[in-house]
Amino acid sequence: MRGFDLRAGVEFVGCDVPAIDDGSRLVVICDSSELYDLLDVFGWDKDTVDECTNLDEKVRFTSYDGYDFVSMLYAESECEDMTQREVNIFFSENYLTLVLPDSPGEDLTKLADRLLIACPQAMNRDVPLIHLYYLVFDNIASFYTDSLEELERIIEETAERIEMHPDKEQISEIIELRKTTYTYKKLLRALSYVGDQVLLDDNKFIGESHARHFRDVDTRLNKLYDFSDNLYALANDLLNLYDSKASAQMNETVKKLTILTLFFGPPTVIAGIYGMNFIAMPELEWAYGYPIILGFMILVSAAIYFILKKKDWL
């Protein structure tokens, strides 16, 4: 557990959380296992704390008497695997508590560090907790922006490889990209709803003077949802692109086999005719019959070649 007392201007570690009074301005970062130590300090609803200790895959915003509760899922890609982590926020006029999972991952660790680094600068603001509350959403939106842009790059590179040479291994890549983009789309849709709920400000913590900053974040979250929706469409288009290129590749193979058959067809027919061994075949007794027939076969093949070349089939 880490935190910062904005009133005293000091950072604290462990369970030595200062007592809450009307003048308190506390920032606390903890994991779900430490929430019960804070239950009596902040007077939270126990059912809400129970939900924080389990990954229930619920994204919601609830205004309680004296504080707001935000529960969201954050997705982070690690070594081509996507991990979903639950992030919870308790916010009031006197405190901001960020609850991270036991294994927060790189992005959420950065978020916690940035939040504590920003605390001394926030002390100079008129309402420091609102600025830090905004900072949490702003960083999460930035992390999602970076992830989606990286995902867009991967989709573009996959499309280029399919254009150059489609192969069966790309099918599993396309399926994984569709799954990943759909997950981002689902999470950002829910997160955009949370942004709308924060703007309602039922507890009047934010106020109209600071609402414009949260409107900016809400707009960004909505645009990120649109971005993820476009990426999901692009990932689906990859399958159509693969089918198209694979079909074109197959057609090209069939075309080459057909052309090969055209070259060997006439000589095969001629050889078949002279292989019937009829008695009344005067060419068989002709001294120049063999080279003339071979020359005729070559002449027919050459004629086929020039005809196909003229039609741009070769």
Q: Are residues 33 and 144 in the same domain?
A: yes
Confirm if 119 and 6 have CB atoms less than 8 A apart: yes
Q: Are residues 225 and 293 in the same domain?
A: no
Domain tally for the chain?
A: 2
Q: Are residues 27 and 79 in the same domain?
A: yes
Would you give the end-to-end CA distance of the chain in angstroms? 72
Task: Indicate the DSSP class of residue 19.
Answer: P
CA 166 to each of CA 6, 172, 252: distance values in angstroms, whole numbers, following the listed order: 58, 12, 13
| Nearest residue to 136 (alpha-carbon basis) of 27, 26, 53 | 27
Helix axes 208-273, 128-164, angle to 10 degrees: 10
Segments forming the whole domain that contains residue 106: 2-247
The answer for residues whose C-beta is within 8 angstroms of residue 238's C-beta and 6 or more apart is 155, 158, 159, 162, 174, 177, 178
Q: Are residues 59 and 173 in the same domain?
A: yes
Q: What's the pTM?
A: 0.77
Task: Indicate the DSSP class of residue 79.
Answer: T
Express each pLDDT in 112-148 by its tens digit.
999 999 999 999 888 899 999 999 999 999 999 999 9
The per-residue pLDDT for 54 is 67
CA 204 to chain centre: 35
Beta bridge partners of 77: 82
Q: Are residues 212 and 271 in the same domain?
A: no
Confirm if 63 and 55 have CB atoms less than 8 A apart: no
Express each pLDDT in 25-41 by its tens digit.
999 999 888 888 888 88
